[in-house]
Amino acid sequence: MKVEKFREYFPGLNQQVYGRNLIYLDNAATSQRSLEVLSLQSQLSKMDNANIHRSVYNLADKATRYYEDTRDYVKEYLNASDRKEIVFTSGTTFSINMLAYSYGDIAIREGDNIIVSEAEHHSNLVPWQFLCQRKGAELRKLPILDSGEFDLEALEQLMDERTKLLCVAQVSNVLGIVNPIEEIVAKAHSRGVKVLVDGAQGAVHQKVDVQKMDCDFYAFSGHKLFASTGTGVLYAKKELLEQMNPFLGGGEMISTVHFENSTYADLPYKFEAGTPNFNAMPTLKPALELLKMSLEDEDLNSNLEAIKEYVSEELKKDDRIHFAAESVEIDRRIPLFSIMVDGVHHEDLAILMDKMGVALRSGHLCAEPLMGRLGVQGILRASFAPYNTMQEAEEFISCLRRSIDILY
Ligand SMILES: Cc1ncc(COP(=O)(O)O)c(C=O)c1O
């Protein structure tokens, strides 16, 4: 499919800012929603709106089926071995917090340690800080090399008999490197260490197969891959979920309730207390279908590859510009560029480029420890999606050069 055709699925792309066509390059923060996602959410809110799992009437049954069919689809999409392994959440942040609480509760004792890479988003760091503080456990840092890759030799040294968990991003939201997750999982498992993969960025750029990855836990957000906000997934191996205690108590997560105590519902409902986001969660299905199509489409793939190569080369041509993970081979990176310009503040660049119609992220990108490692306080990030065109990439480069000329 031609990119021009694919863009038609995304009405949000077709607008102007400051009298110029919007060039949306903040896809790593959130993607635009597809037409099907928008119309499904609208239909579910307008017509098929009834609380799920609770009632016997037709409308409630219909709404429940939308929700549960989505779970089946996500199970297939991730190649999980059982639908019980798919817990719906509001997004990656919730998934990881839930895991830190529920898994932390049963698996982490005083004196244990958890390894987290220094390239993690705050969502995959702060919940582990909470847990370590609560339990008297130690938080260990998996360092990155100057290239931005994980230091896998250091990982071997860091793991010991008290290491219970390793938490790493499949792809960092700053570096854009596709990490060798299967190799990392194998290393961790050989030492008896469980692995959480933060797939918030990784799920967007490659088909996920949790059994092949063999990770114990995998988290992602719907809003980064064309679905509605407030949708997300925690995948976990069934035997682990079975051992874990619920994070939130409330309606629908119980089996029986007595005044003094309760027993819990089967998986995955034990982890889905209260009224879920049933108008939005079903949008995961059309979103993942569209994502899958785009990942398999030759034209869309070669367009995105060409953009990645072009932007990479153009940035390298200008001595004033550096970008994170520049030395890592291009086929191990996603089309995401975290840019530093000598003597120019990232925020000034972002403001100026916004006036030219280019939407970019600037700041610490929710990864302050990584900013420290890169020796900067903030960064300018351009992240591309399959609906971005080469013309937009060229305009981005030209606006960046013009902005640097003005600010330098
Ligand atoms: C790598 C990574 N992890 C976690 C998150 C948090 O995702 P959310 O805000 O959707 O919960 C993000 C969001 O940018 C991310 O890029």
- Domains and their CATH numbers in the chain: 3-25+297-403 (3.90.1150.10), 39-290 (3.40.640.10)
Say yes or no: CB of residue 95 within 6 Å of ligand 1.
no
Q: Residue 87: in which H helix or E strand, if any?
A: strand 86-89
Q: What angle do CA 169, 302, 39 make, to 5 degrees?
A: 70
Best residue among 174, 175, 221 to mutate for probing ligand 1, ranked by most atoms within 8 Å of CB:
221
CA–centroid distance, residue 335 to ligand 1 (Å): 17
pLDDT of residue 222: 98
Task: Please state the length of the chain.
Answer: 408
Our mutation pick for probing the ligand 1 site, out of 201, 205, 370, counting the most ligand atoms within 8 A of Cβ, is: 201
Ligand 1 centroid – CA 121 distance (Å): 7
The helix or strand, by DSSP H or E, that contains position 18, with its residue range, turns out to be none
Residue-level pLDDT, tens digit, the chain, 408 residues: 999 999 999 999 999 999 999 999 999 999 999 999 999 999 999 999 999 999 999 999 999 999 999 999 999 999 999 999 999 999 999 999 999 999 999 999 999 999 999 999 999 999 999 999 999 999 999 999 999 999 999 999 999 999 999 999 999 999 999 999 999 999 999 999 999 999 999 999 999 999 999 999 999 999 999 999 999 999 999 999 999 999 999 999 999 999 999 999 999 999 999 999 999 999 999 999 999 999 999 999 999 999 999 999 999 999 999 999 999 999 999 999 999 999 999 999 999 999 999 999 999 999 999 999 999 999 999 999 999 999 999 999 999 999 999 998
Pocket test for ligand 1, best of 26, 90, 92 (most atoms within 8 A of CB): 92
Three-state DSSP class for residue 344: strand
| Count of CB atoms situated within 10 Å of the CB of 335 | 26
**CA 332 distance to own-chain centroid:** 17
A 10 A CB-CB count for 377 gives 13
Find, among 233, 281, 242, the residue nearest to 265 by Cα: 242
Q: Is 366 a catalytic residue?
A: yes
How far does the centroid of ligand 1 lie from the alpha carbon of residue 220, in Å?
A: 8
Does the beta carbon of 198 lie inside 6 Å of ligand 1?
Answer: yes
Dist. CA 405 → ligand 1 center (Å): 33
Q: What is the pLDDT of residue 408?
A: 86
Ligand 1 contact via 170 beta carbon (within 6 Å): no
**Nearest Cα residue to 99 out of 216, 191, 249, 257:** 216
C-alpha torsion 53→59→62→66, nearest 10: -70
Indicate yes or no: pTM above 0.85: yes
Q: Does ligand 1 have an atom closer than 6 angstroms to the CB of 361?
A: no
91 lines ligand 1 (CB under 6 A): yes
Measured in Å, residue 275 CA sits from the centre of ligand 1 at: 23
Whose CA is closest to 184, among 166, 205, 204, 158?
166
Does residue 124's CB lie within 6 angstroms of at least one atom of ligand 1? yes
**Ligand 1 close to Cβ of residue 383 (< 6 A):** no
